[in-house]
Amino acid sequence: MTNNFNKNVREKALELLQRIEKEGAYSHLLLNHVLSHGQVSKKDESLLTELVYGTIKRKNTLDFYLTPFLKNGIDSIEPWVLQLLRLSVYQLVYLDRVPDRAVIHEAVNIAKKRGHKGISGLVNGVLRSIQRKGLPRTNSLSGIERLAIETSHPEWLLEDWIAAYGEKEAKAMALTNLDPPPLTVRVNLSKSTKEEIKNKLLEEGCQIEEGALSPDALIITSGSVITTETYKNGYVTIQDESSMLVARLLQPEPGMRVLDACAAPGGKTTHLAECMEDKGSINAFDLHKKKIKLIEEQAKRLGLSIIEAKAMDARELTAHLDEQFDRVLVDAPCSGLGVIRRKPELKWQKQKENLERFPKIQADILAEASKLVKPGGMLVYSTCTVRKEENEDVVEAFLSQNNLFKRERNEFLANTLQAEHGQKTILPQQFGTDGFFMALLKKQDL
């Protein structure tokens, strides 16, 4: 019985890995779909998640391990066979609870089922050779090549991080990206107190800890929070702690007029509405019409009524709006390299040349949204990436061309993150959160 379930799990994992690599699909979306539709048994859900995320995270290292055992190199075999070998070597190396003989047996069975006798023989031969001879060592490598293999990251990305943050921080960031991310929730203080919400979650079987950064955060250490009545009734929202800091930085108050220029899926928008006690108004926009529904669904679940969500290109805001706002949020589209732990395929799908388009888009949105900030009003620019070109450089260029705006010191940011000038980059290894950037800008009174 157990073997049958494991076989199904591994076949499903192989199917997802192929789709992620071939179609550029996102791992978290595919996994959510499979798990929510009961395509594997409940008891195998965590194994499926581990196999998919683990194999993607360790791809570089797994290919290094496989290369000496493939006579004509890893590019000589069919993509699905390579994925099967990566999946199997991941289990042999990183999963102690799965016996080696079971890993090899299941891999050979899948190869027989999907291929021909020659392929199953190849899979069997490679895995048994690794088992007999052991893994190749990285001792013969040096410098960036060794770091790329040992941390399983592309060389160009590590080189960028070393140039920006130094070798020690770059290595720490890459190693942290191999760890599972924490599951954190934001408490809805417009509906209840944090203590009452903690008790509700405990009563429904969740184990929790206080967040490391945000006063609004709880870390779920065990239990299925998304199936609790506490979640369904809008007392909590799943959100990374670093993202929760945006609302603290922007400081919206009840009765204010607020603009969220790039709002979907609505996590930060709804947090702003909670801070405003659902009094005032929030105009929330996103480029993609189909994502507006996500904002509306979250607002409804949380019992928030002040959010009006519409599809709009944030680079054309002033063509449609002639009013000014007390607070404006630009959570700009970005390369997303601060959330590699949650979307490990990003480090393989992104190429350096593909990232060059982001600073221009970000600068255009920031310039457009800034025109709608009223005198004395506040603007927050944020991203979930750790590239200076998309963060500090964009803000610096904006300020050099807009004399009415200055960085504004924020008490919370200064006390929590020692950021005295209203601007901060958070690296994943510093607090266990996603990598994130935020800057608070104030428009001078005329």
My answer on whether 166 and 231 are in the same domain is no
Smallest CA-to-CA distance from 161 within 360, 337, 374 is with 337
Q: State the pLDDT at residue 8.
A: 83
- Whether residue 1 is predicted with pLDDT greater than 50 in this model: the reply is no
| Tokens linked to 169 | 């921080």
Do residues 44 and 161 share a domain? no
In a domain, 325, yes or no: yes
Task: State the SS3 of 41-79.
Answer: CHHHHHHHHHHHHHHHHCHHHHHHHHHHHCCCCHHHCCH
Is residue 209 domain-shared with residue 270, that is, in the same domain? Answer: no
**Separation CA 333–CA 359 (nearest Å):** 10
* CATH number for the domain that contains residue 384: 3.40.50.150
Task: Let me know if residue 139 belongs to a domain.
Answer: no
442: β partners: 378, 406
Distance set, CA 427 to CA 41, 122, 284, 384, 436 (Å): 36, 42, 28, 10, 7
Mark whether 27 and 89 lie in a shared domain.
yes
Beta-sheet pairing, 281-286 with 307-311: parallel
1 located within any domain: no
What mean pLDDT comes out for the span 243-257?
96
pLDDT of res. 2: 42
Has residue 3 been placed in a domain? no
pLDDT at 177 over 60: yes
Q: Cβ(361)–Cβ(333) under 8 Å?
A: yes
Both 285 and 317 in one domain: the answer is: yes
**Whether residue 169 is found in the same domain as residue 188:** no
Nearest to 62 by CA among 338, 344, 343, 335: 344
Mean pLDDT (whole number) for 411-433: 93
- The predicted-structure confidence for 308-344, as pLDDT tens digits, reads as follows 999 999 999 999 999 999 999 999 999 999 999 999 9
Residue 112 inside a domain? The answer is yes
- The last residue of a domain, from among 238, 254, 274: 238
pLDDT over 80 (residue 83): yes
Question: Nearest to residue 344, comparing CAs of 174, 147, 212, 168?
Answer: 174
Q: What is the pLDDT of residue 445?
A: 85
Q: Is 265 annotated as a binding residue?
A: yes
- Does any domain span residue 207? yes
Residue 6 confidence (pLDDT) above 60:
no
- Please report whether residue 126 resides in a domain: yes
Average pLDDT, the chain: 94
**Cα–Cα distance measured from residue 15 to residue 80, given in angstroms and rounded to the nearest whole number:** 9
Cβ contact 133:89 at 8 Å:
no
172 is in an annotated binding site: no
Strand order in the sheet with 183-187: 207-210, 217-222, 183-187, 236-238
Q: What is the mean pLDDT of residues 8-14?
A: 92
Residue 96 in marked binding region: no
> Would 138 be classed as within a structural domain?
no
- What DSSP assignment string belongs to 92-126? HHH-TTS-HHHHHHHHHHHHHHHS-HHHHHHHHHH
Catalytic residues: 384
Q: Please give the model's pTM, rounded to 2 decimal places.
A: 0.92
Q: Is the dihedral of CA 392, 275, 227, 295 positive or negative?
A: negative
Q: Which CATH number belongs to the domain containing residue 187 in this structure?
A: 3.30.70.1170
Q: Is 313 annotated as a binding residue?
A: yes
Question: Does the annotation place 331 within a ligand binding site?
Answer: yes
Percent of the chain's residues with pLDDT above 70: 98
Domain boundary, last residue among 73, 105, 133: 133
Q: Looking at the structure, tell me whether residues 224 and 158 fall in a common domain.
A: no
What is the C-alpha to C-alpha distance for residues 219 and 222, in angstroms, rounded to an integer? 9
Q: State the number of CA atoms in the 13 A half-sphere of 227 facing the CB.
A: 8
Q: Is 205 annotated as a binding residue?
A: no
**Claim to verify: residue 113 and residue 167 sit in the same structural domain:** no
User: Quick one: 278 and 399 in the same domain?
Assistant: yes
| Whole-Å CA distances, 365 to 34, 261, 287, 412, 436 | 36, 8, 11, 26, 18
286 annotated to a ligand binding site: yes
pLDDT over threshold 50, residue 170: yes
- pLDDT class of 10 with cuts at 50, 70, 90: very high
Instruction: Assess whether pLDDT exceeds 90 at residue 380.
Output: yes
pLDDT level of residue 40 (50, 70, 90 thresholds): confident
CA dihedral 67, 73, 78, 82 (to 10 degrees): 10
SS3 399: helix
Output the pLDDT for position 38: 81
Sign of CA dihedral 146, 148, 149, 154: negative
**If pLDDT is split at 50, 70 and 90, which confidence band does 5 have?**
very low
Same domain for 383 and 307: yes
Residue 99: alpha-carbon gap to chain centroid:
32
Q: How many CA atoms lie within 13 A of 298 on its CB side?
A: 26
Number of domains within the chain: 4
Distance from C-alpha of 268 to C-alpha of 325, rounded to nearest angstrom:
17
Look at strands 183-187 and 236-238 and give their pairing.
antiparallel
Residue 3 has pLDDT above 60, yes or no: no
Q: Do residues 153 and 25 both lie within one domain? A: no
Query: Domain range holding 438?
Result: 245-443
421 lies in the same domain as 351: yes
CATH of the domain at 70: 1.10.940.10
Residue 184, pLDDT > 60, answer yes
Which tokens belong to 96? 């102690």
Is 264 assigned to a binding site? Answer: yes
pLDDT given at position 39: 85
> Smallest Cα–Cα separation from 55: which of 31, 23, 32?
31
In whole angstroms, give the CA distance from residue 236 to residue 224.
13
